[in-house]
Structure 1
Amino acid sequence: MFGAIEAGGTKFVCAVSDEKLEIIEKVSIPTETPDVTMAAVFGFFDQYELKSMGVGSFGPIDVNEKSDTYGYITSTPKIKWQNYNFLGALKTRYGVPIAWTTDVNAAAYGELTYGAGKGKQSCIYLTIGTGVGGGGVVNGQLLQGFGHPEMGHIRVTRLEGDTFSGVCPYHGDCVEGLVSGPALEKRTGQKGQTLAEDDPVWKIQANYIAQALMNYTLVLSPEAIILGGGVMQQAHLFSLIHEEFEKVINGYVSYPELDKYILPTGLGSNSGIIGCLQLAKEKLESLSN
């Protein structure tokens, strides 16, 4: 039996599956303090005999296996979770092989294996919601090295006349600071789902997102860019992003047809948990070979 944890800033989704990755049980646990949340996590997994686990965590996290703090959540804005030895706590409790990465890397892997990126060797998954986070798979491998991608914190060129200061506490007007759900709400005074489809703010959102996608395209040249998160529940935003992407990239490089290149998730809200289960399976297989 495989275990999976998609650890987000708002909630932990925990699941167990059989050998075919069919989910047997899944629960959602509020992200409170480590003591409170992890007690509930342990209470769930203690019911099962696990062979391995896959964990995708909010970050920043330490993914460098040579580091003394490998497996830690590091400089997160969630103060109670700073410098928390997440992987260590799980290993001490269960003593099974554990795959460890970011929540968005896990989602990218889930989408590549079973979702909108199926059949491809590379993709980027970008979630645009409470924050903006991105994960990637290149040549079938998770994109990480000394650290992991923080795609939401790149800078983009301000549109003329846009004086919005941004909401990122670290960088102000990075992509997260300009297009996340809180940014959209602060800019307009409304939540995204209450805004009309023809509201001018969507064009601003689309331009900044398209600029970010251009940068990812130029650096990584993925076969697909998959967009998820609460803000991307506005389906009309995809066509605007396609239009803005064509403008900003300006014919410089080639890419697949836009509706097959910049597209919604294939697994919906299950991208991360499926990715974690697949990583758990592969972790166990790698040790058996």
Structure 2
Amino acid sequence: MHKLAGIELGGTKTVVVLGAQGRIDERVEFSTTEPAETLDRAIAVIEGWRDDKPVDAVGIASFGPIRVDRNAADYGSMLDTPKPGWSGAEVVAPVLEALERPVALDTDVNGAALAEHRHGAGQGCESMVYITIGTGIGGGVLINGAPAHGLLHPEIGHVRLRRAAADGFEGACAFHGDCIEGLLSGPALAARFGTHPSRIDPDNPVWEPVAQDLAELLAMLVLTVSPQRIVVGGGVSGRQRHLLPMAIDRVPALLGGYLRDCTRHKLAGMIVPPTLGDDAGPMGALLLAAKAFDAHPIPTPASHLPV
């Protein structure tokens, strides 16, 4: 079986893994700092493994926005991102040059969506959406099991939706103010509450407009993408477990009876937490590595062929 390496490049944390499709054998985590330092460290981890465990291909599941179109002149480069120092950074080129192995790139949320579709909560679904709510908010969309690309890739975190009545919070997104990321991300909640969200009791009424904002996002996805499954992950939703059920409770009213099948019971089975937890992104990166190897297989040296 081919040895694959994956890099989940997150806005806060980078995870480097060695394994195969559906299996993580080794894992190293460290903080995402400036581009050269972060990528050099990820490369060094893989090179260390390669000393005694051949690595056949590498998958990168990265925060963004990042250019994923292989035909674009700036393929593999970061676009204008809120992460300081990363706008314009080359992500694929340093890995490809250092490791000389096939490399595949997609967004971190598309990677997580691929993993949940293949091995987790999205199994058996032709269409699904993976949402992560953490330092930022991202959304990966799969149609017929393949990530949706186009002009760029889905930037669901930056849509602007109807606000909860009488909610005066201005939002915290540097680009759009009160887009969904500016309302629901970890930094946005800290700005909204004036303290870390973990210090706010789940029964506190300040969660009401937050749940309403998340419900607006879920209703929008139901109406626009018509997914069979919406998987909601990330640190905020993982730690604030009351938030997703609160939002689901509000979705039928937002749909206004237009989709009669979308009852509270139906939605509760359709909008779910990730099965793979924190492994979704790294396992997605390994699936991308497998895709890279399938597209550009490395010939087996004659000395390694069976006799």
TM range (shorter): over 0.9
Q: Check if 1:8 corresponds to 2:10.
A: yes
Task: Report the 3-state secondary structure (helix = DSSP H, G, I; strand = E; otherwise coil) of the residue aligned with 2:85.
Answer: helix
Aligned to 1:194: 199
Contact 2:23 / 2:283 at 8 angstroms: preserved in 1?
A: no
Aligned to 1:101: 106
Q: Which has the larger radius of gyration?
A: 2
Aligned to 1:84: 89
Rounded Cα–Cα distance in structure 2 between residues aligned with 1:173 and 1:245: 20
Aligned to 2:271: 262
Deviation at 1:152, TM superposition (A): 0.6
Structure 2: give runs of 5+ residues left out of the alignment.
298-307
1:1-59 alpha-carbon deviations (Å, 9 max, x no partner)? 101000011121000104x5422210012211222222211210102121111111111
TM-score, scaled relative to structure 1: 0.95
Task: Report the 3-state secondary structure (helix = DSSP H, G, I; strand = E; otherwise coil) of the residue aligned with 1:203.
Answer: helix
Rounded Cα–Cα distance in structure 2 between residues aligned with 1:275 and 1:267: 10
Task: Report the 3-state secondary structure (helix = DSSP H, G, I; strand = E; otherwise coil) of the residue aligned with 2:131.
Answer: strand
Aligned-pair Cα RMSD in Å:
1.5
Contact 1:255 / 1:261 at 8 angstroms: preserved in 2?
A: no
Deviation at 1:235, TM superposition (A): 1.7
- Equivalent in 242, 251, 255 of residue 248 of structure 2: 242
Structure 1: give runs of 5+ residues left out of the alignment.
none
Percent of aligned pairs with the same amino acid: 37
Moved more, 97-106 or 246-255: 246-255
Rounded Cα–Cα distance in structure 1 between residues aligned with 2:136 and 2:23: 30
Deviation at 1:161, TM superposition (A): 1.1
TM-score, scaled relative to structure 2: 0.89
Rounded Cα–Cα distance in structure 1 between residues aligned with 2:39 and 2:106: 18
Rounded Cα–Cα distance in structure 2 between residues aligned with 1:195 and 1:109: 33
Rounded Cα–Cα distance in structure 2 between residues aligned with 1:98 and 1:136: 21
1:132-180 alpha-carbon deviations (Å, 9 max, x no partner)? 1111111111011220111011011122211111000110011111111
Aligned to 2:118: 113
Contact 2:116 / 2:276 at 8 angstroms: preserved in 1?
A: yes
Moved more, 150-159 or 74-83: 74-83
Q: Check if 1:32 corresponds to 2:41.
A: no
1:57-110 alpha-carbon deviations (Å, 9 max, x no partner)? 111100112210011112122332221111111111122221111111111111
1:244-278 alpha-carbon deviations (Å, 9 max, x no partner)? 11111122123481122111010011110111111
Deviation at 1:196, TM superposition (A): 1.1
Aligned to 2:302: none
Contact 1:60 / 1:74 at 8 angstroms: preserved in 2?
A: yes
Name the amino acid aligned to 2:106. Answer: T
- Equivalent in 137, 142, 161 of residue 142 of structure 2: 137
Q: How many residues align structurally?
A: 287
Rounded Cα–Cα distance in structure 2 between residues aligned with 1:45 and 1:105: 22
Rounded Cα–Cα distance in structure 2 between residues aligned with 1:173 and 1:211: 13
Task: Report the 3-state secondary structure (helix = DSSP H, G, I; strand = E; otherwise coil) of the residue aligned with 1:126.
Answer: strand
Name the amino acid aligned to 2:14. Answer: F
